[in-house]
Chains A and B, each alone.
Chain A
């Protein structure tokens, strides 16, 4: 065999890689169904995985945590996209709890996996699986291993409040959290506040404000900011609804949008959410409200079942 010159070998290497990349692109575009990975969790027992991991359990826990975060994010995008287009989503967050369970079995002190995991699980569909029972189960698991973490009981109270709308249970878990050494001094106040005000918008605002002020995690603060804005939007919707009622009473006209009020000088412009998506008038109830594509819709008082707002 005649030896090929070096430059020819170089060309073959570059051409071979370029061809492989081109074929990869062709496969992805022409056969997306075949190429798309199947959602599957091969090992569901954290204990078994832990045994196989030898001394690398923490590293494996991190890998499962990254998988859980990525799975939650991608499933949420699919589910929300399907909800907006009115189609049936194939994603139902089925693997979320098993992924979080494996993560926390491999690393029982993985604080954020319990706390964020509970938030993910409690979020109502399509923003999350809407499984507050699993969120509570995960937090129970965390507290059993880390009985000094008052935050898990605090999060349980939150799940009871937002997702289950069980204000008695929320008050109970706030009191239990207050009993744990190191709990902040405002915790007993939250329990009393919950018993007195449970369910109204003022208590919701108070709770989210506490989270915004005390949370060190950026995700928690972002979530609190979102819910506070959502509550602001609910207040604006109430004021607009009152304005609409006054307008109807004074003019005797029923309006389908806000432009007559703008023309009459009652409003300076068509009201909108912070991202500029305008408020609408619900033809059924005559109330001002926000619909998709506003990320704040549905507003807290309109959400079915789970009250954790979609984002």
Chain B
């Protein structure tokens, strides 16, 4: 795989997402966080900073998820639908480069989105801190613009990369609607992994427990990447945990992209 080709495809994906006005979500995010910071102070009994932290992280997760799923599904399927896949494949580009390049391009789009949202969010938090008296600030669990919040944003990015990989994988063999359902389904199921792990408590020695334990290890565990509550409450997220979660997300995404390349390489477009 040529890094040059990958870079070109990735940039093309990013440019296309800008053309499709994906970055408009940033305006929505800015309005949401700035508006909420103004309104929420009136009705939360002094919990406005905590709530803006929660709101910022949740909004990033939702916006990021929509971008990852809806654009991720369209990465391959749109090319097939528009029949532009033929002209792409006629160029000196390998199929594997096309899939990986598109994956990297969307990951870049999500990363830039998250970065801009984070800057806006920190700006609002810094303003809230600046406009508050010292005595009130002493009561906060952590500073408003706490750098530790970045750990949650980073792990959210790793999670979204995994979601992109899932969307890309499903879109190589399923219709866009089904690919969306599968990706979103796995995202939801991924938050129930702990239940699968402890299913043996309910089923006892039944063979079902082997199935649920198998599913626990096989399905992507999305809860791994969720440290939002911990960072907002200034709880320590060990570096080891962050590294493990990153490696987990990276290997899982790698496997999914590899599977997507495999399927796409064998696909007959006639």
Contact = CB atoms under 8 A, between A and B. Distances in A.
A218 B132 CA distance: 12
Interface in B132-147: 135-136, 138-141
Contact of B223 (A55, A56, A62, A116): A55
A107 B191 contact: no
Given A59-B54, A107-B229, A111-B141, A54 B136 contact: no
Contact of B229 (A54, A109, A218): A109
Interface string B45-83: 111001100110110011000000000000000000000
Residue in B138, B139, B235 whose Cβ sees the most chain A Cβ within 10 Å = B139
Interface stretch (A65-73, A202-210, A245-253): A65-73
B228 A51 contact: no
B66 to A, nearest CB: 14
Contact of B50 (A55, A62, A217, A218): A62
B139 A217 contact: yes
A57 B61 CA distance: 12
A216 interface: yes
Contacts of A56: 58, 61-62
A219 B45 CA distance: 7
A109 B191 contact: no
Contacts of B50: 62
B244 interface: no
Contacts of A219: 45-46
Contacts of A217: 46, 136, 139
Instruction: Say whether chain A's binding surface is mostly helix, strand, loop, or mixed.
Output: helix
Given A55-B222, A55-B223, A55-B226, A218 B46 contact: yes
B188 interface: yes
A58 interface: yes
Contact of A109 (B61, B222, B235): B235
B265 interface: no
A112 interface: yes
Contacts of B188: 54
Interface in A231-290: none
Contact of B58 (A58, A65, A218): A58
Interface in A198-233: 215-219
Contact of A112 (B45, B61, B192): B45
Nearest to B135: A216
A146 to B, nearest CB: 10
Contacts of B192: 51
Interface residues of B, number: 31
A58 B57 CA distance: 10
Contacts of B141: 111
Interface string A69-112: 11000000000000000000000000000000000000101011
B8 interface: no
Interface in A160-218: 215-218
B232 A58 contact: yes
Nearest to A111: B141
Contacts of B222: 54-55
Interface in B212-237: 222-223, 226, 228-229, 232-233, 235
Given A54-B191, A219-B45, A62 B228 contact: no
A54 B191 CA distance: 6
A55 B228 contact: yes
Given A69-B45, A219-B45, A109 B233 contact: yes
Interface of B: 40, 43-47, 50-51, 54-55, 57-58, 61-62, 135-136, 138-141, 188, 191-192, 222-223, 226, 228-229, 232-233, 235
Give 7 nearest A-B pairs by CB, closest first: A216-B139, A59-B58, A55-B226, A58-B54, A109-B233, A54-B191, A216-B138
22 contacts: A55-B226, A56-B58, A56-B61, A58-B229, A59-B54, A59-B57, A59-B58, A62-B47, A62-B50, A62-B51, A65-B44, A66-B51, A69-B43, A69-B45, A112-B45, A112-B46, A216-B135, A216-B136, A216-B139, A217-B46, A217-B139, A219-B46
Interface of A: 51, 54-59, 61-62, 65-66, 69-70, 107, 109, 111-112, 116, 215-219
